[in-house]
Structure 1
Amino acid sequence: MFDIKSFYEAKSVRDAVDALVKDENAEIISGGTDVLIRVREGRDAGKSLISIHNIPELKGVEMKADGTIVIKAATSFSHLTNHEIIKKHLNMLGEAVDQVGGPQVRNTATLGGNICNGATSADSASTMCTLNAMAVLEGEHGVRRVPVCEFYTGPGKTVRERTEVCTAFEIPRSEYEGWEGKYYKYGKRKAMEIATLGCAVRVKLSEDKKRIEDIRLGYGVAAPTPIRCREAEKAVRGMAVSDPAIYEVLVSKALQEVKPRSSWRASKEFRLQLIAELARRALYDSIRLAGGEVVHWEENEMEAEK
């Protein structure tokens, strides 16, 4: 049973905002894969639901004249994965959201819902952080843009106000052109699994493909919120891709920045192992995808043993 006070299908973003302002007990619902679970479990029982699921202006992917990619908030994961713009320019994001739940969930769940739910386990969150994506929020006082990296304030909490609607996410050309990346998710099973840990790495190599010109490292479930490991990024920036030490430099710095905890899914100690191992794998694959000459991290260990 779902204890819902009322259900209203908004005709537009402005209509949804007005409905939220009028009813202090109302909240937004789009795909419903998170909200309806909270209602069923009693956490959001008795709420009024304002649906934005069928608002045309909130669906789709487009590229602006300046190359900025705009992903509308109510775009489903399945649509994202299969969209030509995503496959050509943001394939890493398409692969990340393709690991969410099963086909039924991916056909319904939306990018906006996944981010706005505030869960550190959201498969899209760490990738969106490494893309320096901007969340676009529209409320009764106008429109504002917030970096996804600054969107989370705590477990299940974000900067989005109750009367605001997340309408889109913007990714400038400079954040994807010349970049390659990889997202790794660890779960106890391959399908229908909430991430035990998620790791996203993106790299931009020098013109000769010999050095890491820039790098981004993001995690999910490595802290109370999705995080970027900026000190780890700073330490690896400029290093040669042929230097097997880059993996341990990245990992050693990342381990100083993360704050994993023990839960029924995994212990803190196991998550620390995953934080290290997934970062190595994602960096290796990112360099390879970017056209660099990959050197396995174990070669550094073999050199040390000589």
Structure 2
Amino acid sequence: MFDIKSFYEARDVQDAVQALVKEPDAEVISGGTDVLIRIREGKDAGKALVSIHNIPELKGVRLLENGDLWIGAATSFSHITNDPLIQRLVPMLGEAVDMVGGPQIRNTGTIGGNICNGATSADSASTMWALDALILLSGPQGERTVPICEFYTGPGRTVREREEVCTGFIIRKENYEGWYGQYIKYGKRKAMEIATLGCAVRVKLSEDKRVIEDVRLGYGVAGPTPLRCRKAEEILKGAGVDDKEALEQFAKTALTEVNPRSSWRASREFRLQLIEELAKRALTESIRRAGGNCNA
């Protein structure tokens, strides 16, 4: 049994926002794969729930007129993985969310919940950081857009107000066009495992595929929140795809920008080893996917 004060099925986004304002202890629920676990464990017991799960305007993936990619917050992981636009434009995101839990979780859980629960271990988070995603929020004061790099404030905490509903995400055309990437998740098991570390790398190569014009490096579980290693990124800009020294420096510089902790899943020292090694592996695969010849 779940200790729930009340359950309200919102008709649309504004209806959900009004319900959250009306009920001071209400919480948004969509797939419920995180919220219901917290309630069962007693952390959020006795709260009212406002469901956005069946609001059509929050589901799906579409290309906007300006070429930006829109992803609805209530879109399930399996939908994202199998969506033709995701497969064509940002397959890395589809691959990342396909590593969440098992099939039942992926069919129910949503990308909005995965980002908004604030967990550094969220499989979509480091990839969304590497994509420079924008988060769309709707609340009593209207709508606002928050860059993902400004969204997290601490472990399990974000700038989203309790009365706000995450409606979707925007990936700008310039952040996916010409980019290729790889997400690597390390866990003790191959399936149904929370990430011990997640590493996302994206690259944009020169026309002749010999030079790294731009690169993004994102991590999950390398600090209290997901993060980008911007100093490491600068190391590689303009480097040759087969520049082994630059690749090594890229991975080592990342170590100066992270702050992993020891937990029952892994020690800080082991996570630091993973941070360096996965950066090199993900970069090598990203270059290969982009059409470059990386022999590092």
Q: Which TM-score band applies after superposition, normalised by the shorter structure? A: over 0.9
Instruction: Provide the rounded CA distance (Å) in 2 between the counterparts of 1:234 and 1:243.
Output: 14
Where does residue 258 of structure 1 map in the other structure? Answer: 258
Where does residue 233 of structure 1 map in the other structure? Answer: 233
Query: Is residue 109 from structure 1 mapped to residue 86 from structure 2 by the alignment?
Result: no
Instruction: Provide the rounded CA distance (Å) in 2 between the counterparts of 1:149 and 1:71.
Output: 18
Instruction: Provide the rounded CA distance (Å) in 1 between the counterparts of 2:255 and 2:289.
Output: 25
User: Runs of 5+ in structure 2 lacking a partner?
Assistant: none
Where does residue 127 of structure 2 map in the other structure? Answer: 127
Where does residue 166 of structure 2 map in the other structure? Answer: 166
**Residue deviations 1:121-177 (CA, integer Å, cap 9, x gap):** 000000000001000000000000001121100000000000000001001110000
Instruction: Provide the rounded CA distance (Å) in 1 between the counterparts of 2:270 and 2:2.
Output: 37
State the one-letter code of the partner of 1:211.
Answer: V
Query: Is residue 205 from structure 1 mapped to residue 205 from structure 2 by the alignment?
Result: yes
Where does residue 184 of structure 2 map in the other structure? Answer: 184
User: Runs of 5+ in structure 1 lacking a partner?
Assistant: 297-306
Instruction: Provide the rounded CA distance (Å) in 1 between the counterparts of 2:245 and 2:185.
Output: 24
TM-score of the aligned structures, taking structure 2 as reference length: 0.99
**Residue deviations 1:70-107 (CA, integer Å, cap 9, x gap):** 00000000000000000000100000000000000000
Instruction: Provide the rounded CA distance (Å) in 2 between the counterparts of 1:194 and 1:2.
Output: 24
**Residue deviations 1:167-203 (CA, integer Å, cap 9, x gap):** 0100111000000000000000011100000000000
Instruction: Provide the rounded CA distance (Å) in 2 between the counterparts of 1:135 and 1:15.
Output: 20
Identity across aligned pairs (percent)?
69
Q: Displacement, 1:246?
A: 2.4
State the one-letter code of the partner of 1:53.
Answer: H
Instruction: Provide the rounded CA distance (Å) in 1 between the counterparts of 2:58 and 2:246.
Output: 41
Where does residue 19 of structure 1 map in the other structure? Answer: 19
Instruction: Provide the rounded CA distance (Å) in 2 between the counterparts of 1:249 and 1:289.
Output: 22
Instruction: Provide the rounded CA distance (Å) in 1 between the counterparts of 2:66 and 2:28.
Output: 31
State the one-letter code of the partner of 2:175.
Answer: E
Describe the SS at the equivalent of 2:255: helix
Instruction: Provide the rounded CA distance (Å) in 1 between the counterparts of 2:195 and 2:91.
Output: 20
Q: Displacement, 1:242?
A: 1.5
Query: Is residue 98 from structure 1 mapped to residue 91 from structure 2 by the alignment?
Result: no
Instruction: Provide the rounded CA distance (Å) in 2 between the counterparts of 1:138 and 1:246.
Output: 43
Instruction: Provide the rounded CA distance (Å) in 2 between the counterparts of 1:244 and 1:71.
Output: 37
State the one-letter code of the partner of 1:247.
Answer: L
5 Å matches for 1:24-39?
A: 24-39=24-39
5 Å matches for 1:223-302?
A: 223-296=223-296
Q: Displacement, 1:247?
A: 2.0
Instruction: Provide the rounded CA distance (Å) in 1 between the counterparts of 2:158 and 2:134.
Output: 14
Q: Displacement, 1:17?
A: 0.1
Return structure 1 stretches of 4+ with deviation > 2 angstroms: none
State the one-letter code of the partner of 1:71.
Answer: I
Where does residue 86 of structure 2 map in the other structure? Answer: 86
**Residue deviations 1:106-131 (CA, integer Å, cap 9, x gap):** 00000000000000000000000000
Query: Is residue 149 from structure 1 mapped to residue 149 from structure 2 by the alignment?
Result: yes
Describe the SS at the equivalent of 1:19: helix
Describe the SS at the equivalent of 2:256: helix
Aligned Cα root-mean-square deviation (Å): 0.6
Describe the SS at the equivalent of 1:43: coil
What is the total number of aligned residue pairs between the two structures?
296
Instruction: Provide the rounded CA distance (Å) in 1 between the counterparts of 2:106 and 2:250.
Output: 32
Describe the SS at the equivalent of 1:170: strand
Describe the SS at the equivalent of 1:96: helix
TM-score of the aligned structures, taking structure 1 as reference length: 0.96
Instruction: Provide the rounded CA distance (Å) in 2 between the counterparts of 1:277 and 1:235.
Output: 16
Where does residue 303 of structure 1 map in the other structure? Answer: none
State the one-letter code of the partner of 1:99.
Answer: M
Q: Displacement, 1:52?
A: 0.3
